[in-house]
Amino acid sequence: MSDKMALIPFRQLLHWVMEEYKHSGMVFGIPEEKFFKKSNDHYMELFGEAIATPVGPAAGPHSQLAQNIIASYMSGSRFFELKSVQIMDELEIAKPCISAEDECYNTEWSTELPIMGAFAEYVKAWFILHVIQKEFFQQTERRFMFNMSVGYDLKGIQSPKVDEFIEGLKDAAKTKIFQECQDVLREELGLLKHVDSAFVDQISPQICNSITLSTMHGCPPTEIEAIIRYLISEKKLHTFVKMNPTLLGFEYVRKTFDKMGYDYIQLKEASFTHDLQFGDGVEMLKRLKVFAADNKKDFGVKLSNTLPVRIARDELPGEEMYMSGRALYPLTINLAYKLAAEFDGELKISYSGGADAFNIERIFAAGIRPITVATTLLKPGGYQRFQQLAERLEPLLDNQESSRLDMKKLKALAESAFDDANHIKESRDMLSRKTSLKLPLLDCFIAPCEKGCPIEQDVPEYLRLVGEKRYEEAFDVIVSKNPLPFTTGTICTHTCMTKCTRLDYDESVHIRGQKLVAAEKGFAGYMQKVSKGQSQSKASVAVIGAGPAGLSAAYFLAKAGMNVTVFDKREKAGGTVEFVIPDFRISREAIKKDIELIESMGVKFKFGVNPKVSVADYKAQGFNYVVLAIGAGRTNALAIQGDMERIRGAIPFLEAFNTDRQGLNLGKRVAVVGGGNSAMDAARAALRVPGVEEVSIVYRRTKDYMPADEEELAYAQKDGVIFKELLAPVSLSGGVLKCQVMDLGPADASGRRSPVPREGIYEELPVDTVLSAIGELIDYDLLKTNGIEVGEKGKIKVNEDTLETNVENVFIGGDALVGPWTVVGAISHGTKVAKAILAKEHLEFSQEYASRISFDKEKQLLEVRTKKAVLQPVCDGEEETGRCLECNYICNICSEVCPNRANLMIPVEGEGLTNRNQILHVDGMCNECGNCETFCPYDDAPYKVKMTLYWSEKEFADSLNTGFVILKDGKEPIVKLRLKGEVIEVAFDQTGRTDAPIDGSLAAFMWTVIQQYPYLYKV
Ligand SMILES: Cc1cc2nc3c(=O)[nH]c(=O)nc-3n(C[C@H](O)[C@H](O)[C@H](O)COP(=O)(O)OP(=O)(O)OC[C@H]3O[C@@H](n4cnc5c(N)ncnc54)[C@H](O)[C@@H]3O)c2cc1C
Ligand code: SF4
Ligand code: SF4
Ligand code: SF4
């Protein structure tokens, strides 16, 4: 494996395009339904030429290779800012060089190819685009444009090497590559239906009449001006000059980042002071505008360059990287406004900086064009995102060259950028979407949401069923793993949503709400058919505790035919959910339905039992197994001094609130101490107690560090709860809560900044009652009297696989085992315990659906492919199910996000293979940029792990990847294969059989590539 890319010769490129389309209806992985087909005959004028839409790839990874430019074109790009070239064209770039998990960083800035290698790629792409335009869309007149980009100083730009490049793109007629493309095309006309030699002859050698100048950060203003004068007057090119966001000044950028949640981005003040200053820049532009007009050339600015920042969190190798993407948008659009205001709107602006499907219409409507993108294309959906971008602009095109900017609209856009939710960083760190799983060689598609769910709910399946209004089946799918569909549909902490692929588009699918829809609409029908488990065993189980953990264990045990009784000290089932969580969060009716489902399995209940649990007594009563699911109900005492009678535990308060809120006497002002979900519930409940006028949450860190769910925090805020951050209570006396003022100190090992007291500084709050919500505790005494061993730091000793304690046949789970947790966590423990007991009884543990569920696979395929790469805000009601991308049916993210098209989707029919296609990595096309690793949901890099095709034995020898090189093709092919580090030769007979010691699925994969995809390896 090496980061050097092998370039595809023109003839093979042409064959690749035509054969891939014929074979799979795709061109470089862009499926036909994502081809951009114009819906009107509107276009846009630029530099005296017409382009079908002003959208395209910014000079960067998406315009480096011919195949990148072709993929861009297929999905909607028509303005191509070619990747920049410079005199130093043999730089070694440390890899990976792109980190696009959220806002994007990169360390490569000009082409990785030698200059004339880059030139050849652009010429080849020029020809193929003409062919595609005619062959696929029957359009003769060119409606796309190439714009060259050069850097970085006058001397380099005037060097013979760069000059040859510039002159070549101005007129390529005499270049070898231009002639070769023409000749090959003439020879290969047989491949094409709509292209003839006359068409080939008229392909213009004048590839570019415009240029974008890229200058290094720190380039002296006189140098910038001299280069532009040279390009306009000597090279006779329409010119855009790339300006840097540093023009806004250090203070402005720092403040913007801090206010928008990007406070962790480390800037170098020197980058600002050494760069061109705003006033000088404006004066320079004014002079150049006049100069360009005198030379009858167009001149404008390209806004903006990336922003140099320090590498502080190991994002990429090295010390400095360049930032782009959604964090750059507020800067670039404000720079656009600020500069344009100096010219009263008479300024040509080419835009790039966080443009995407949500803002592109507004940018265009302000008169800014062309608009180029890079970061959005690096995210799942990849190049296919062009289609939505181009389609959004269709109705706005006016066949005009942009004459002036609409300053009113631009001003509004600039001002609104700071509050635009799509550009504000979420207040907590975004969790990585990657799972901890290892990437398999074959059949890798997974739904990350499922892996993020402690009970691995079959999310995409039930979402599709709800979408198809098959509610009863959806309910069936849910309850196969989850006996509390109403409870979890209402209050689950939905960790599934932190892994959702849509987070890389816009916002996670609102999964939980759709579970509730399935529960509400599927319950009645399901309950009519459900029957209790047939008795399969004489052994019986006592479950102590009727909360989520106990109920789940009981459900799965009874379902499998065991005799189960649930005992609880209270008078009802439901545990903390029923007795503590306030009814404004979950209705008691919903909890009741879950209990009904569990009872329907034959589970028996005994309430009001003695809380002094004796395992021996239960065993003496004849129970073979005892499951302790007693929660963690002890309240942690708040260590402050003073009027202790005015300090109450949040949990007992919430219990009392649920039974009789009228009888509570909290006074007028309540302070809740803590930052978790219990604190939010206690605060919101306190606000609903008669007589209470004001409720504050007192927390020793800032809101960003509160462990409560984002959602619960937002509800508390909406209800009017006041947040008192950086305060630690010390005493409550005479209606005054004295608090130590804290500061955030340095980050600890977990990355959290710890609170440090500000010596001698206190704040006093008027408070009548304090509610302490600083955590609940496990009842260790009860465990110890039953002989259950507790280890260091209160960790109860269990077999992690079964949750059996040191006392034989006694199990423990839920909050009782790990302390305050979640409903779904408790369900996962109940499930594990049930599975372990059933195994002891030699009974089957099954999570099969009761009904046979199937989908129209072809319809599903088309729908998934259509949804891909389309940004779509959250929908109302059940429409929301349509936002699910059904990742376990089709993933292919590594293929979508690869700028170089190096990960291919190959349908393989082979022994035991279940995925719709397999991923084939093509070594020669990969430059190890690392982007597929960022977005693959596994804890691995597809470019290192997936089955790799090598174009030569040298490439094969330079790599460690599992993969193959074809030694002999034809009817009885032979390949050299590396598998688990061993190299073997695999010879196939004419039917695809081989005696080599490899799995049939692997053999089928290689056979399919050799037989059906000759264009992939005949390079
Ligand atoms: C205020 C608050 C808000 C929460 N909000 C959420 C939320 O939004 N989403 C979420 O997923 N989770 C939430 N949780 C956490 C969630 O409720 C618990 O993690 C979950 O209920 C734990 O289930 P469990 O079965 O282990 O224990 P519990 O639900 O506590 O059930 C334990 C049961 O055992 C019984 N019991 C206890 N001791 C004995 C005894 N000695 N003898 C007999 N019976 C006994 C109790 O009566 C109770 O019925 C919240 C918790 C609190 C306190
Ligand atoms: S898009 Fe659908 S399948 Fe994919 S992670 Fe999100 S909810 Fe799950
Ligand atoms: S395969 Fe991955 S690492 Fe290689 S070029 Fe494509 S995205 Fe980059
Ligand atoms: S990103 Fe690629 S390798 Fe990773 S799971 Fe998806 S298809 Fe497989």
Q: What ranges in 317-458 are assigned the alpha helix state H?
A: 329-342, 360-365, 375-378, 385-393, 407-416, 448-452
The structure tokens 């977990």 sit at 750
pLDDT of 639: 82
Query: In terms of DSSP bridges, do strands 44-46 and 49-51 run parallel, antiparallel, or are they unpaired?
Result: antiparallel
Query: In terms of DSSP bridges, do strands 625-628 and 540-544 run parallel, antiparallel, or are they unpaired?
Result: parallel
| Mean pLDDT confidence for 662-688 | 95
Closest ligand 2 atom to the C-alpha of 499?
5
419 Cα: distance to centroid of ligand 2 (angstroms): 28
Q: Does ligand 1 come within 6 angstroms of the Cβ of 616?
A: no
**For residue 169, is pLDDT > 60?**
yes
pLDDT band at 427 (very low <50, low <70, confident <90, very high): low
Top mutation candidate among 441, 444, 962 for ligand 4, by most atoms within 8 Å of CB: 444
User: Residue 174 is which amino acid?
Assistant: K
Phi, psi of 758 (to 5 degrees): -90, 100
pLDDT, tens digit (0-9, with 9 covering 90-100), for 853-870: 999 999 999 999 999 999
Top mutation candidate among 442, 450, 451, 919 for ligand 4, by most atoms within 8 Å of CB: 919
Q: Does ligand 1 come within 6 angstroms of the Cβ of 833?
A: no
Angle at 899 between CA 89 and CA 909, to 5 degrees: 135
493 Cα: distance to centroid of ligand 1 (angstroms): 14
pLDDT, tens digit (0-9, with 9 covering 90-100), for 608-651: 999 999 999 999 999 999 999 999 987 777 888 888 899 999 99
| Mean pLDDT confidence for 845-855 | 94
Query: In terms of DSSP bridges, do strands 307-310 and 55-57 run parallel, antiparallel, or are they unpaired?
Result: unpaired
Q: Does ligand 3 come within 6 angstroms of the Cβ of 945?
A: no
DSSP 923: G
Nearest residue (CA) to ligand 1, atom 30: 631
| Mean pLDDT confidence for 475-491 | 98
Residue 984 in contact with residue 996, Cβ under 8 Å? yes
Please, is 822 exposed, middle or buried when counting C-beta atoms within 10 Å of its C-beta (0-12, 13-18, 19+)? buried
**For residue 752, is pLDDT > 80?**
no
Phi, psi of 1001 (to 5 degrees): -65, -40
pLDDT of 710: 85
Ligand nearest the Cα atom of residue 939 = 4
508 Cα: distance to centroid of ligand 2 (angstroms): 8
Closest ligand 3 atom to the C-alpha of 933?
2
Ligand nearest the Cα atom of residue 930 = 3
Buried b (16+ CB within 10 A) or exposed e, 134-172: bbbeebeebbbbbbbbbbbbbebbeeeebeebbebbbeb
775 Cα: distance to centroid of ligand 4 (angstroms): 40
229 Cα: distance to centroid of ligand 4 (angstroms): 49
pLDDT of 563: 97
pLDDT of 1019: 60
Q: Does ligand 3 come within 6 angstroms of the Cβ of 788?
A: no
Counting runs of H as helices and runs of E as strands, what totals does the chain give? 38, 38
Q: Does ligand 3 come within 6 angstroms of the Cβ of 831?
A: no
Q: Does ligand 1 come within 6 angstroms of the Cβ of 1003?
A: no
pLDDT, tens digit (0-9, with 9 covering 90-100), for 371-393: 999 999 999 999 999 999 999 99
Q: Does ligand 1 come within 6 angstroms of the Cβ of 654?
A: yes
- Integer Cα distance of 562 and 837 in angstroms: 10
Phi, psi of 742 (to 5 degrees): -115, 160
Ligand nearest the Cα atom of residue 945 = 4
927 Cα: distance to centroid of ligand 3 (angstroms): 6
Report how far apart, in Å, the C-alpha atoms of 755 and of each of 88, 115, 258, 644, 818 are: 50, 54, 20, 25, 25
685 Cα: distance to centroid of ligand 1 (angstroms): 18
Closest ligand 3 atom to the C-alpha of 95?
3
499 Cα: distance to centroid of ligand 2 (angstroms): 8
Q: Does ligand 3 come within 6 angstroms of the Cβ of 108?
A: no
pLDDT band at 400 (very low <50, low <70, confident <90, very high): confident
Ligand nearest the Cα atom of residue 449 = 2
873 Cα: distance to centroid of ligand 2 (angstroms): 15
pLDDT of 782: 95
294 Cα: distance to centroid of ligand 3 (angstroms): 46
Q: Does ligand 1 come within 6 angstroms of the Cβ of 786?
A: no
Nearest residue (CA) to ligand 4, atom 2: 894
| Mean pLDDT confidence for 500-515 | 96
2 Cα: distance to centroid of ligand 4 (angstroms): 21
pLDDT band at 1 (very low <50, low <70, confident <90, very high): low
Nearest to 475 by CA among 457, 491, 453, 490: 457
| Mean pLDDT confidence for 758-771 | 96
903 Cα: distance to centroid of ligand 3 (angstroms): 7
Nearest residue (CA) to ligand 4, atom 4: 936
Q: Does ligand 4 come within 6 angstroms of the Cβ of 942?
A: yes
| Mean pLDDT confidence for 683-711 | 93
Top mutation candidate among 435, 445, 935 for ligand 4, by most atoms within 8 Å of CB: 445
**For residue 32, is pLDDT > 70?**
yes
pLDDT band at 455 (very low <50, low <70, confident <90, very high): very high
pLDDT of 586: 97
Nearest residue (CA) to ligand 2, atom 5: 500
Q: Does ligand 1 come within 6 angstroms of the Cβ of 678?
A: yes
Top mutation candidate among 885, 893, 896 for ligand 2, by most atoms within 8 Å of CB: 885
Top mutation candidate among 894, 895, 898, 945 for ligand 4, by most atoms within 8 Å of CB: 894
**For residue 970, is pLDDT > 60?**
yes
Name the strand (E) or helix (H) holding 324.
Answer: strand 320-324
| Mean pLDDT confidence for 675-690 | 96
Within 13 A of 573's CA, how many CA atoms are on the CB side? 29
Tell if the pTM clears 0.75, that is, is over it.
yes
Q: Does ligand 3 come within 6 angstroms of the Cβ of 445?
A: no
Ligand nearest the Cα atom of residue 657 = 1
Does 403 or 760 have the greater pLDDT score? 760
pLDDT of 430: 59
pLDDT of 93: 84
pLDDT band at 304 (very low <50, low <70, confident <90, very high): very high
Buried b (16+ CB within 10 A) or exposed e, 904-935: bbbebebeebebbbbbbbbbbbbbbbbbbbbb
What is the chain's mean pLDDT, rounded?
95
Q: Does ligand 3 come within 6 angstroms of the Cβ of 929?
A: yes
Enumerate residues 6+ apart whose C-beta is below 8 A from 890: 445, 861, 864, 865, 868, 916, 917
Instruction: Give me 377's structure tokens.
Output: 């294309």
Q: Does ligand 1 come within 6 angstroms of the Cβ of 828?
A: no
pLDDT, tens digit (0-9, with 9 covering 90-100), for 184-220: 999 999 999 999 999 999 999 999 999 999 988 788 8
pLDDT, tens digit (0-9, with 9 covering 90-100), for 770-821: 999 987 789 999 999 999 999 988 999 999 999 999 999 999 999 999 999 9
pLDDT of 92: 80
| Ligand 2: lining residues by beta carbon, under 6 Å | 447-449, 459-460, 500-502, 509, 511, 884-887
Does 635 or 518 have the greater pLDDT score? 518
895 Cα: distance to centroid of ligand 4 (angstroms): 8
Residue 868 in contact with residue 384, Cβ under 8 Å? yes
Ligand nearest the Cα atom of residue 609 = 1
Enumerate residues 6+ apart whose C-beta is below 8 A from 174: none
Closest ligand 1 atom to the C-alpha of 575?
49
User: Residue 535 is which amino acid?
Assistant: S
pLDDT of 445: 98
Top mutation candidate among 67, 927, 934, 959 for ligand 3, by most atoms within 8 Å of CB: 927
Nearest residue (CA) to ligand 1, atom 2: 678
459 Cα: distance to centroid of ligand 2 (angstroms): 7
945 Cα: distance to centroid of ligand 3 (angstroms): 12
Ligand nearest the Cα atom of residue 900 = 3
409 Cα: distance to centroid of ligand 1 (angstroms): 54
Q: Does ligand 3 come within 6 angstroms of the Cβ of 932?
A: yes
pLDDT, tens digit (0-9, with 9 covering 90-100), for 38-70: 999 999 999 999 999 999 999 999 999 999 999
Q: Does ligand 1 come within 6 angstroms of the Cβ of 454?
A: no
**For residue 3, is pLDDT > 80?**
no
Instruction: Give me 770's structure tokens.
Output: 């304090």
